[in-house]
Amino acid sequence: MSKRFIPSVIQSLGSLAVAAFVICLGSGAAKADPRSNDGQGTVMRFDVHEVSLTASGIHDNPYVAITAQVEIIEPDGHSRRQSLLFWDGGQTWRFRFSPDRVGLWQWKVKSSDPALNGRSGQFECTESSLRGSIQPMPGRGNHFQYQNGERMWFLGDTAWSYILDNAEEKLDRSSAELYAANRASQGFNAIHLMLLSEIGWGNRGGAPWSDISSEMINPGYFREADERIAFANSKGLVTGLVLGWADKGHQPFYSWNNFQSQEARRRYARYIAARYGAYNVYFIVAGEWEIEARGQQVPKDVVRRQFIDLGETLRAVDPQRRMIGIHPKGEMTQGGSSRDFNRDTKWMDFGDYQQNYVRLHENILESRIFKKPVINGEYAYWLRDNNGDGLVDKDHSANLESIRAASWDIVMAGGYLVAGFGSTYLGGARSFTVFLPDDPRNEPWLEQLAHIKSFFSAIEYWKLEPHDHLLSCEDSRTADRWSQSKLGERTANLRTAPTTTYWCLTDLEKAYVVYVRGTTKSVNLDLGKSGRHSWHIDLFNPRNGSWKTMPPLTATRQSYSFSPPDDQDWIAVLNADDKDT
């Protein structure tokens, strides 16, 4: 790595977040009020261009009765894959597109409706400082970048109910936007949310469907979702959109199982791609997809093929080519993984989008083989107390030591995480509190997450690969364990990350990051041929974000022995002397 770790120049996440926040205001994504016109005019690169058109006649259900697609022609004359128009109530149809090239774009509509068919227009795309949505980094596919090529160290948060309203939980547009602004200022750059609530909530626009079984969609619900997604984008938050949850048996609920046919599911997937593909988003085909087999009472493989088909449907009608993944169900005794979709699909853009509470480090490693970004999207919900009995009831979530260890086990495998907070992740549901965007109980964990992001933001992390085999210690690595939380006569058993472990990320012969916890014994790093270099060494404290410069290591040493100050978590960072590289 060309950068050295110099404690005086490492910024806290608070200052990083403020800088990022200012940048995002000037170079974020879709505006809260996207442009709507007859298709003429100009649009900035990576912004949202929206065209509004009027259909003829009155149909009982335009969502089903009318088909409309758009041929989009690039500035060089090549025809872009066709997008779709989406119905937005009454006789109004729209299409949205986010141009990625400067120049004159053209479009033409083909539709079963005579007033829409043959409509055409053009718009000029101008250069901008916008970053666009996310994509895998070319040449280093396990990592992210924005469309403009800027690197992104992904830090997400769970906001399943972000587009929903619930008066009892004090969740509405105002509190949701306060949440999004808070998370952006705290250094997050992504959130994920569900477009259809697994617990049946709507928003100020009403329910998403007046009758989902007959495909009577409510555009008002999705217009409210538009506003909140655009607001999150404007704050620099890329949004992961779960199209639908599996059938978990909640009443009322909205799930993939509510649709009466696979074609109805495809129609909804096409609608979502058309409505949101131009925003800074990525798509998650389903949440906890395996449960759908139980809801439909069909074999798991049948449901799996349905979701593979829906991913293909999304990819076929999204000219922006937003990233697509799928979110599995994590079981208590095994890791929840979606990596098998990589073997059978072309649309899976993540090595994995896990729901996983076990073997956190190892499960990330096992998913990195596809050379795509790996995210653990659900591994802890800080201080979640579902029944209000005073006991935290979610693995890795009861104290800072546990959740910090779990998080570092993920990122030290080269993975990324989506955090979660009991008082916000489901809009106040499954928490003894209401929705609390400013919950003071979250401050300690927010500070710890700040240290993680500031650490990786200061290094050339995209060049590092896991090489745990280079480390050895007299104390062996331990396995996951169970801890018991007690309150009076009540107890809760929670899974906890290993007590003793040590991990290594390295750009071989140039830099090494050695993470250790749970031992005071020396941890030996095999430098191999890189032992001919001299090394600058810095010590990082993950608990408070502080740095300390250590004595350098001279050349000709074939190994480095790291002796932790105590048995808490520590990181030693070795950078080869520039004149030796």
Outline where 442-534 has alpha helix (H).
Answer: 443-457
Burial of 509 (0-12, 13-18, 19+ CB in 10 A): middle
**pLDDT one digit per residue (tens) for the chain, 581 residues:** 433 433 333 333 333 333 333 333 333 444 433 434 455 789 999 999 999 999 998 889 999 999 999 999 999 999 876 789 999 999 999 999 999 999 999 999 999 999 999 999 999 999 999 999 999 999 999 999 999 999 999 999 999 999 999 999 999 999 999 999 999 999 999 999 999 999 999 999 999 999 999 999 999 999 999 999 999 999 999 999 999 999 888 777 899 999 999 999 999 999 999 999 999 999 999 999 999 888 888 999 999 999 999 999 999 999 999 999 999 997 645 667 899 999 999 999 999 999 999 999 999 999 999 999 999 999 999 999 998 888 999 999 999 999 999 999 999 999 999 999 999 999 999 998 999 999 999 999 999 999 999 999 999 999 999 999 999 999 999 999 998 776 666 778 899 999 999 999 999 989 999 999 999 999 999 998 877 789 999 999 999 999 999 999 987 678 999 999 999 999 999 999 976 55
What does DSSP say about strands 68-73 and 79-84: parallel, antiparallel, or unpaired?
antiparallel
Q: Which domains does the chain have, with CATH numbers?
A: 35-126 (2.60.40.10), 154-462 (3.20.20.80), 466-580 (2.60.40)
Non-local (6+) Cβ contacts of 440 within 8 A are none
> 479: closest CA among 500, 501, 502, 498?
498
**Cβ proximity of 373 and 141 under 8 Å:** yes
Joined together, the tokens standing for residue 315 give 């990819």
* Strand ranges for 57-206 from DSSP E: 68-73, 79-84, 86-87, 92-97, 103-111, 120-126, 134-137, 140-146, 151-152, 155-158, 190-194
Non-local (6+) Cβ contacts of 490 within 8 A are 389, 390, 391
List the Cα angle 289/483/392 in 5-degree steps. 60
């290094």: which residue's tokens? Answer: 459
Outline where 53-157 has alpha helix (H).
Answer: 62-65
φ, ψ dihedrals at 109, nearest 5°:
-95, 140
* DSSP one-letter string for 330-383: PBTTB-B--TTHHHH-S-B-SSEEEB--SSHHHHHHHHGGGSS-EEE--S--BT
Report pLDDT for 579: 67
How remote is the C-alpha of 66 from its chain's centroid? 34
**Cβ proximity of 451 and 545 under 8 Å:** yes
> 270: closest CA among 81, 53, 38?
81
